[in-house]
Amino acid sequence: MVVASYPATAATNPNANIAIVFSTGGLGDLSFNDAANAGKIKAETDFTGINVDTAEPASQAEINSAIESFASSTEIDYDLIIGIGFTATDGINASATLHPDKNFMIVDSVVPLSNVANVIFAEHEGSFLAGAMAAMVSTTEDIGFLGGLDITLINKFLAGYAQGARYINPDINIRVAYSPDPSNPWGDLAGGQNVANSFIELGSDVIYAAAGGTGLGVMAAAKEKSTADKKIYAIGVDSNQDYIEKGYVLTSMINRVDVAVYNQIKAVVDGTWAGNGDSAPLVLDLAADGVGITDMEFTQTEANADYNSTTTRMEKVDEIKADIIAGKITVDEALADDFTYVFEKVDEDLSDLEDLPLNAFFLFALIAIPVFRKIKK
Amino acid sequence: MIEKLKEKKKVWLLIKAFLGIEGLVLLLFGLNVIFNDYTSFLVFHVQVWRLLLSTGTVSSMIIYALPIAITAIGAAYNENVGVINIGLEGIMLWGAWAGIYFTFITGNPWAGVFASIVFGLLNALIHAVWTITFKSEQIVTGVAINLFATGMTDVLTTLVWNPGRSPPLESDVAFKKINFYDSKIFGEFLSKIRFTNFIDKPGGKIFKYIPDPIDVLSGQTILFYLGILIIPIAHIFLFKTKWGLRMRVIGEHPQTAATAGIPVKKYQFIAVLISGGLAGLGGAILSVGIGTSFTVSIVQGRGFTALAAMIFGNWTVLGAVAATLFFGFFYALSIRMGVGFIYNFEVPNEFLQMMPYIVAIMALSGFIGKSRPPKAIGKPYDVSDE
């Protein structure tokens, strides 16, 4: 097997071969993969000479094998193999170790190898803006968050969201849940709807979903549970999802995956591509315009409502954004362990019970056991 | 005294169920003490019982259970004539897909439901011809139907809409959600007897803690209510009519049935077709009856759950329905406990997510008692035998 080797910085390469391996949600997830696809289409129109091959794996194992088959392909010598999303981490890691002469890129995860370019997003900064907007819109002072899985990456969204909401309203309740079906965390519409309904029943009126397709269930629930006098909103994630349920999706926190993919393809074509696995990954943050929230096309009345007498809500968000870029507000990637999400008010009926000693229960058990034995005889 | 209680089977079952739930509460409390901190057991206990009996829990239990129950009824039919059909998962998927697709192209959700049933019948016909006429291995044919459905619906979804999912139906095309309190004839009366009205009245506090049956059922589509109606009809047909009796005899001993002059293969065909039609309808309820869109993972094991529920329910219609409600109950509970209906409850989500399956395993391993399948199950009927 003869494999031509490409150094990290090659000359201009207008006929580059690019391979993209999408995440398991597949195209049409109106989210990560679609955003990556938008970047790919933009690159294809700008650089007509390039050839982009894609794979849409359905499972984790298929992702790994798709990456490996692109890396070991003898027919086409790929100049850059792109893995979308953290699900590609293991596959990129394995293939990049096996083929040190090939170049890889991974969005949203870090692989510490010199032939890999890591691009990550400062999702917590974008989520901070979403949280601030949610806190301004919520009338019940109660907002929800639905994550796909309880992992560091998803909790980054939660951390930014919670900090943003508390920045506007320090007393706001933040309810947190994750996808109910761990075998299908990113595509469980019914589960997302169920969780959202529970949140709404508990009093939340804005729910942020960082759970891929499961989030579509949250949008459906927002539409279903909204009444004339009480509106429920969902907040979309990763790409602009405002149009899915028009008027019920407050805004979307966008990761510019398209920008990341486009920039990397451009770098390959220009010959300026370099791996960064052995140094710090490239972070696309608010300042680099890599994250942000949408302009709320279908919820303009909420965006333009007064935050206080001088500024509207959207202007307040822009103010916060400027403050974050200027470093006046720092957004942490993780919350403290003792962060209080919900300020619980114990039910009136329960507060009597709370004073009761547990001894009463043991007393009951002590009486019940002999009685039970007697019955048995 | 215990022995006397054991003789009354239904009372004993209730006692066992009660003790089972108490055990579960104790287990959850133990987990909570390990992972979080000590909270008052009484408060915890009261909260869990309140959650168990809340309107929201019961309503999401029914929503989860109905499509599975309809499919499980279908499974009860074909297994009672001795044919195993594990292709029900695939048939449900076809039903869900056809429901959305034909609603989109005709603009009428009833056409979608009709198409779902037709797709279910077609798949069942394949299964019937292969397993009854050609006596092929029933499991293999079922697997083939499942694999074919998974692949084809994925391809067709990609061809027709986007890869992976359809767009949501427009609200003027989809089935309307029927709110009982808005209805012209009963609306006013029903609003008056709503449980929430009585909470402030003396002695009305009890209404705060029990599910409101009208609230539970209100707000679904017409297809959903028709689905509920199918349950008694299917039960009466299989267990109270001569045709149902013949089917069950065939499942026990087809040779005997043939000796008595019952056309065995005809009845087997009919039962398998009924089961396919019901599974297709189950898929339609899932996609157009409850939701408004199709995703390739919409069924995600619900067909297999239906088979498990049917076995759990001892090959009867009502048993199968009860079993799906049981699964649905723990599904609803696991979601609602995870989102913070209980104060100071911080058991990791994974424990809650495994709860329905742990309970199912515990229940299947002797809690309910031994289940007994029809004797001739899985064996193709051959006239020349014996």
**Chain centroid to CA B221:** 17
The whole-chain average pLDDT of chain A stands at: 84
Q: What element of type H or E holds A249?
A: strand A249-255
Q: Read off the pLDDT of each residue in A306-314 and give the average, rounded to a whole number.
A: 87
> What Å distances lie between residue B49 and A276, B41, B67, B257, B333, CA to CA?
55, 12, 27, 49, 11
Beta-carbon separation of B43 and A188 below 8 A? no
pLDDT at B348: 79
pLDDT tens for residues A1-48?
344 444 444 468 888 889 999 887 777 777 788 888 888 999 999 888
Rounded Cα gap, residues A295 and A313, in angstroms: 11
The candidate with the shortest Cα–Cα distance to B177, out of B288, B317, B20, is B288
- Residues of A in Cβ contact (< 8 Å) with B43: 346, 350, 353-354
- The whole-number pLDDT of residue A206 equals 95
User: Does the pLDDT of residue A360 top 70, yes or no?
Assistant: no
pLDDT tens, position by position, A121-140: 888 999 999 999 999 999 99
**If you average pLDDT over residues A246-252, what whole number do you get?**
90
What pLDDT is stored for residue A1 in this prediction?
39
Q: How far apart are CA B83 and CA B273, in angstroms?
A: 11
Mean of pLDDT values over A205-209: 94
- What is the rounded distance in angstroms from the CA atom of residue A159 to the CA atom of residue A148? 14
How do A116-121 and A173-178 pair as beta strands? unpaired
Distance CA A192, CA A292 (A): 24
Distance, CA of A141 to CA of A226 (rounded, Å): 17
pLDDT (0 to 100) of residue A273? 86
Within 159-188 of B, beta carbons closer than 8 Å to A belong to 161-165, 168, 177
pLDDT for B20: 79
- B20-179+219-367 in CATH: which number? 1.10.3470
CA-CA distance, A359 to B355, in Å (whole number)? 29
User: What average pLDDT does range A207-220 have in this prediction?
Assistant: 88
**Chain A residues within an 8 Å CB radius of B47:** 350
**Residue A323: φ, ψ to 5°:** -65, -40
Determine the pLDDT at residue A6: 46
Q: Taking Cα atoms as reference points, which of B270, B266, B169, B186 lies closest to residue B221?
A: B169
Q: Do the Cβ atoms of A198 and B41 come within 8 Å?
A: no
Nearest chain B Cα distance for residue A24, angstroms: 10
> Could you report the per-residue pLDDT of A335-358, keeping only the tens digit for each?
887 788 877 766 666 666 665 555
Residue of A nearest to B168 (CA): A244
Q: Give Cα B138 distance to the centre of its chain.
A: 23
A185 or B131, which is more confident? B131
Residues 33-62 on A with a CB inside 8 Å of B are 56
Which of B116, B77, B75, B7 lies closest to B270 in space, CA to CA? B77
How far from A332 is each of A160, A293, B205, CA to CA, in Å? 7, 18, 46
**Separation between Cα atoms, residue A40 and residue A263, nearest integer Å:** 10
CA distance B297 to chain A (A): 7
Q: Which fold has domain A123-255+306-326?
A: Rossmann fold (3.40.50)
Asked whether B298 and B93 are in contact (CB, 8 A), the reply is yes
**Contact between chains at A220 and B292 (C-beta distance less than 8 A):** yes
Domain segments of chain A as ranges? 17-121+258-284, 123-255+306-326
Nearest to A350 among B46, B162, B341 (CB): B46
Which residues of chain A neighbour B350 with C-beta distances below 8 Å? 182
What is the Cα gyration radius of chain A?
25
If 0-12 CB within 10 Å is exposed, 13-18 middle and 19+ buried, where does residue B191 land? Answer: middle
Amino acid at B28: L
- pLDDT in single tens digits along all 386 residues of chain B: 677 777 777 788 788 778 878 888 888 888 888 887 666 777 888 888 888 888 888 988 999 999 999 999 999 999 999 999 999 999 999 999 999 999 999 999 999 999 999 999 999 999 999 999 998 889 999 999 999 999 999 899 888 887 677 877 887 888 888 888 888 888 888 888 888 788 777 777 777 778 888 888 888 889 999 999 999 999 999 999 999 999 999 988 888 888 888 999 999 999 999 999 999 999 999 989 888 888 888 888 889 989 988 988 889 999 999 989 988 888 888 888 878 777 777 787 778 777 777 777 776 676 555 667 888 888 888 776 65
Considering only CA atoms, which of B293, B273, B289 is closest in space to residue B118? B273
Q: Which residues of chain A does B348 touch, with a Cβ-Cβ cutoff of 8 Å?
A: 150
SS3 A312: strand
State the pLDDT at residue A359.
54
Question: What residue type is A127 in one-letter code?
Answer: S
> pLDDT above 90 covers what percent of chain A?
24
Residues in chain A closer than 8 A to B56 (CB atoms): 197-198, 201
Do A240 and A230 meet the contact criterion of CB atoms below 8 Å apart? no
Neighbours of A82 (CB within 10 A): 31
B328 touching A (Cβ < 8 Å): no
Q: Does domain A17-121+258-284 have CATH number 3.40.50.2300?
A: yes
Q: Give B173 to chain A, closest Cα distance, Å.
A: 15
User: Hey, do A17-121+258-284 and A123-255+306-326 end up sharing a CATH topology, with the first three levels equal?
Assistant: yes
Looking at the partner chain, which of A26, A189, A342 has a beta carbon nearest the beta carbon of B340? A342
B15 touches A: beta carbon within 8 Å: no
**Helices first, then strands: H and E counts in chain A:** 12, 12
pTM surpassing 0.90? Answer: no
Give contacts of B161 with chain A, Cβ < 8 Å.
28
Q: Which of A195-199, A270-274, B236-240, B302-306 has the lowest mean pLDDT?
A: A270-274
Task: Using the structure block, give the residue that is written with the tokens 């990129």.
Answer: A92
Q: Is B270 exposed, middle or buried (0-12, 13-18, 19+ CB in 10 A)?
A: middle
What is the distance between the alpha carbons of residues B130 and A90, in angstroms, rounded to a whole number? Answer: 43
Q: Distance between CA atoms of B120 and B99, rounded to whole angstroms?
A: 11
- Cβ–Cβ below 8 Å for A187 and B1: no
Q: Is A360 in the B-facing interface, judged by CB distances under 8 Å?
A: yes
Q: Which residues contact B10 (CB under 8 A, 6 or more apart)?
A: none
- Predicted confidence at residue B335, as pLDDT, reads 85
CA–CA dist B66, B224 (Å, integer): 8
Does B196 lie at the interface with A, CB-CB under 8 angstroms? Answer: no
B295–A25 C-beta distance less than 8 A: no
Identify the pLDDT of residue A2: 43
Q: Looking at beta carbons, which residues of chain A come within 8 Å of B331?
A: 180
H-assigned helices in chain A: 32-46, 60-71, 89-98, 123-137, 152-168, 189-202, 214-225, 257-270, 300-304, 313-326, 348-355, 359-376
End-to-end CA distance of chain B: 50
Q: Are A49 and A232 in contact (CB under 8 A)?
A: no
Question: Closest partner residue to B295 among A178, A213, A245, by Cβ?
Answer: A213
What is the predicted pLDDT for the residue at B370?
64
C-beta separation of A237 from A210 below 8 A: yes
B42 lies within 8 A of chain A by CB: yes
CA distance B17 to B11: 10
Does the CB of A346 have a partner CB in chain B at under 8 Å?
Answer: yes
Q: How far is B282 from chain A (nearest CA, A)?
A: 15
Q: Please tell me if residue B103 touches chain A, with a CB cutoff of 8 Å.
A: no
Q: Name every chain B residue with its beta carbon within 8 A of the beta carbon of A245.
A: 168
Q: Which A residues in the span 229-248 are in contact with B, Cβ-Cβ below 8 Å?
A: 244-245
Contacts of A142 (CB under 8 A, 6+ apart): A172, A173, A175, A202, A203, A204, A205
Q: Alpha carbon of B276 to those of B43, B94, B201, B273, B380: distances in Å?
A: 48, 10, 50, 5, 18
Whole-angstrom Cα Rg for chain B:
23
User: What distance in Å separates residue B335's CA from the closest CA in chain A?
Assistant: 6
User: Which residues of chain B have a CB within 8 Å of the CB of A201?
Assistant: 56
Distance from CA of B204 to the nearest CA of A (A): 14
In a mutational test of the B interface, the residue from A154, A193, A200, A201 whose CB has the highest number of chain B CBs within 10 Å is: A201
Interface of A with B in 84-143 (CB under 8 A): none
Picking from B59, B94, B60, the residue whose alpha carbon sits closest to that of residue B303 is B94
Lowest mean pLDDT among A79-83, A110-114, B90-94, B343-347: B343-347
Q: Please report residues of B whose CB lies closer than 8 A to that of A187.
A: 164, 295-297
